[in-house]
């Protein structure tokens, strides 16, 4: 009887152990991962990638510079070294880093070293901030694939891990905000969401991306 009881205890322990391993694996698979990319105007990158299934959130901010907690005015004025950057938070069980990187290259003009579309200057350049060797290898492969697809030199650098500083609340979810602007370059008293649409059209983002990538462009309207 004692041997039977011991056997049952061992079997129960093994079952519990396997259950904990399964729970741990499930929790890891269900965890959120992040990807830092610079694609010109961060409002646009946020708008594009929040439409992707498996992306849980996109935060607009800055990375790659030498100043801690920079303001928007500091960055766009130049001299801090920061890029307008989007932190993409995603579920790797639904969408992979490889897929996101491929979409990223096809949502920008990676042949432009001076900015993106109508936005010129260092803060609007494209870049990928790779967190570790695995992500770096994936980014390099995505870049090589993009270059082969375009038949043109892709200048988007693959940079190392960088501190990310979220922009102030004014810039978060700009593309879908119903807040009205007292003044903007695209009109008076318009909602942020409408101002964003007008800006994106006037800046020529979708037109240029469509010209470069054709049907492979994932976000053009």
Q: Which residues are catalytic?
A: 41
DSSP 8-state secondary structure symbol assigned to residue 167: P
CB 32 within 8 A of CB 56: yes
Exposed, middle or buried: residue 181 (CB in 10 Å: 0-12, 13-18, 19+)? Answer: middle
Sign of the C-alpha dihedral computed for residues 80, 82, 83 and 87 taken in this order: negative
Neighbouring CB atoms inside 10 A of 124's CB total 22
CB 90 within 8 A of CB 56: yes
């Amino acid at each position: 009887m004692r041997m039977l009881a011991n056997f049952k205890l061992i079997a129960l322990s093994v079952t519990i152990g396997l259950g904990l391993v399964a729970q741990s694996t499930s929790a890891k698979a269900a965890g959120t991962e992040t990807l830092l990319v610079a694609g010109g105007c961060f409002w646009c990158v946020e708008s594009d990638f929040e439409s992707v299934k498996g992306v849980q959130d996109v935060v607009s901010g800055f990375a790659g510079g030498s100043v801690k907690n920079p303001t928007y005015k500091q960055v766009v004025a130049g001299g801090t070294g920061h890029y307008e950057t989007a932190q993409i938070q995603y579920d790797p069980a639904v969408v992979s880093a490889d897929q996101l990187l491929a979409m990223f290259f096809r949502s920008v003009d990676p042949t432009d070293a001076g900015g993106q579309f109508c936005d010129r200057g260092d803060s609007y350049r494209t870049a990928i901030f790779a967190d570790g060797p695995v992500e770096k290898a994936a980014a390099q492969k995505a870049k090589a694939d993009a270059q082969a697809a375009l038949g043109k030199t892709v200048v988007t650098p693959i940079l190392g891990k960088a501190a990310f500083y979220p922009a102030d609340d004014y810039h978060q979810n700009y593309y879908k905000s119903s807040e009205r602007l007292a003044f903007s370059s695209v009109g008076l008293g318009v909602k942020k969401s409408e101002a964003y649409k007008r800006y994106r059209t006037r800046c020529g983002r979708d037109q240029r991306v469509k010209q470069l990538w054709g049907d492979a462009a994932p976000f053009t309207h």
